[in-house]
Amino acid sequence: MAPSLAGREVLLGVSGGVAAYKAASLARGLKKLGADVQVILTGGATRFVQPAQFEALTGRRCYTDTFSDVERIVHVEVARRADVAIFAPATTNLIAKFAAGIADDLVTSTFTCLTVPTVIAPAMHTEMWLHPATQAAVRLLAERGATIVGPGEGELAGGDVGPGRLEDEDVLLEAVLRAAGRADHPLSGRRVVVTAGGTRERLDPVRFLSNRSTGKMGYAIAEAAAAVGATVDLVAAPTALADPPGVTTTHVESALDMHAAVMALAPAADVIVKAAAVSDFRPVAVSDQKLKKDAWTGSGAEGDGVTLELARNPDILADLGRRDDIDAVLVGFAAETTDVESYGRGKLESKGADLIVVNDVSQSDAGFGVDTNRVVILGRDGFRRAVDLASKRAVADVILDLAAERLRG
């Protein structure tokens, strides 16, 4: 079936850049995909394009002023009606105001009322695009969940060449389709908690016990959940990865820290995915100072072994499975090297999870450290789904779709 926006209300905000003339064609493209299109213009945009143009193309009144229909409170009305919004072209000025929360005209006031997936398509001169203030504003908007599309590179007004061109119409339409799809996903607006990375169990200020987890699997799940519009909390054990945009990341070190962070987030969660590799044990004694060789318990003459006393860490997943006040769909992982499915099914049941994602971590292209994974997902009632070698992000998408099918409440 051809992609469609039939029955969807798309808000198109246009600001005052030379590329504003392209917004008329974009409005037409959105109409062709079946959308009901509501156009709003900034004062600057009206220097380049006319409301009548958009009214003819969309069959709708095109608004330009907060004070033209005061009794209808237009900015609130159009924002509430929208299923998805696109701002194209978005000038430096518009982007800076969006980031700062300034609402001093119809378009910026409407933006502050939006709660739906939003696409922002910057278009401006290269110098303006590269200015640190613009870059910081764009980063902030992306972190808050907006999809930034472009700018493209090419010829700009005045004959300059460089980054700053409004992205091509087909790219913008594709972004709107994806954003509209996001609004349709059952996890859109739901709370997802993800754990990632390998916990560290300190012995002293320079030594710890840990494992080979890099956090890639958990981060891919957090990113995939944010991409479908979920509110995502990522609880990350030490990793070299950058915090994913649009996700609230809490950094923890040990299994006990992770236990506390997850338990605090769990009651409000709709889905919890435990991709972290949590140390099952921690040293009983943790030294404030670097331990000297002769301070190790049991150490004697050089060459003797040492005995490290370990205490069992709480099992976070099993504790979640036991708690009555937690309604979230629980997804655990099982890192196995032999009899992977039967050990995985054992963990599914003993830990009270709804789904368990079993990976064979003895394979070189799956499990720890790599960008790909190969998993079998097991559920209650004998559910089984094998996912052959795929990127961790693609595996994440499957996990989230299966979790979404099991949403409660």
The residues carrying an active-site annotation are: 211
Q: Report the residue from 116, 276, 329, 376 that binds ligand PMT according to the rule CB under 6 A.
A: 276
Among residues 10 and 277, whose Cβ is nearest to ligand PMT?
Answer: 277
- Considering only residues 219 to 248 of the shown chain, the ones binding ligand PMT according to CB under 6 A are none
Question: Contact, 5 vs 33, CB < 8 A?
Answer: yes
Looking up tokens 């198109």 gives 12
Residues 275 and 392: their CA atoms lie apart, in Å, by: 11
- Angle, helices 169-184 vs 20-32, to 10°: value is 50
CB-based contacts of 318-321 (< 8 A; 24+ apart in sequence): 318/350, 318/351, 318/352, 319/259, 319/263, 320/262, 320/263, 320/266, 320/272, 320/274, 320/352, 321/351, 321/352, 321/353
Candidate segments 16-24, 96-104, 139-147, 270-278, binder of ligand PMT by CB under 6 A? 270-278
Cis preceding linkage at 151, omega within 30: yes
In 3D space, the residue among 13, 4, 12, 53 whose CA is nearest the CA of residue 32 turns out to be 4
CB of 383 to ligand PMT, least distance (A): 17
Cis preceding linkage at 89, omega within 30: yes
Give residue 246's Cα distance to chain centre. Answer: 5
Compose the 333-362 pattern: x for residues touching ligand PMT by CB under 6 A, - for all others: xxx-----------x---x-------x-x-
CB of 404 to ligand PMT, least distance (A): 19
Instruction: Say whether residue 215 binds ligand PMT (CB under 6 A).
Output: yes
Among residues 146 and 224, whose Cβ is nearest to ligand PMT?
Answer: 224
Candidate segments 22-30, 59-67, 209-217, 321-329, binder of ligand PMT by CB under 6 A? 209-217
In 3D space, the residue among 81, 80, 84, 38 whose CA is nearest the CA of residue 63 turns out to be 38
How is residue 15 written in tokens? 């600001």
Among residues 270 and 315, whose Cβ is nearest to ligand PMT?
Answer: 315
Instruction: Say whether residue 254 binds ligand PMT (CB under 6 A).
Output: no
Q: Report the residue from 124, 173, 217, 396 that binds ligand PMT according to the rule CB under 6 A.
A: 217
The CA distances from residue 15 to 31, 94, 172, 281, 388, in Å, are: 20, 7, 16, 58, 46
Q: Report the residue from 277, 355, 396, 403 that binds ligand PMT according to the rule CB under 6 A.
A: 277
Strand partners, 373: 390
Instruction: Say whether residue 317 binds ligand PMT (CB under 6 A).
Output: yes
Cα Rg of the chain, angstroms: 26
Q: Count the residues of the shown chain that bind ligand PMT, applying the rule CB under 6 A.
A: 27
Give residue 142's Cα distance to chain centre. Answer: 10
CB of 353 to ligand PMT, least distance (A): 8
Q: Report the residue from 367, 376, 399, 403 that binds ligand PMT according to the rule CB under 6 A.
A: 367
Looking up tokens 């004694």 gives 285
Among residues 172 and 217, whose Cβ is nearest to ligand PMT?
Answer: 217
Instruction: Say whether residue 216 binds ligand PMT (CB under 6 A).
Output: yes
CB of 203 to ligand PMT, least distance (A): 18
Among residues 46 and 210, whose Cβ is nearest to ligand PMT?
Answer: 210
Instruction: Say whether residue 274 binds ligand PMT (CB under 6 A).
Output: yes
CB of 369 to ligand PMT, least distance (A): 5
For ligand PMT, the binding residues (CB under 6 A) are: 213-217, 255, 274-278, 280, 313, 315-317, 332-335, 347, 351, 359, 361, 367-369
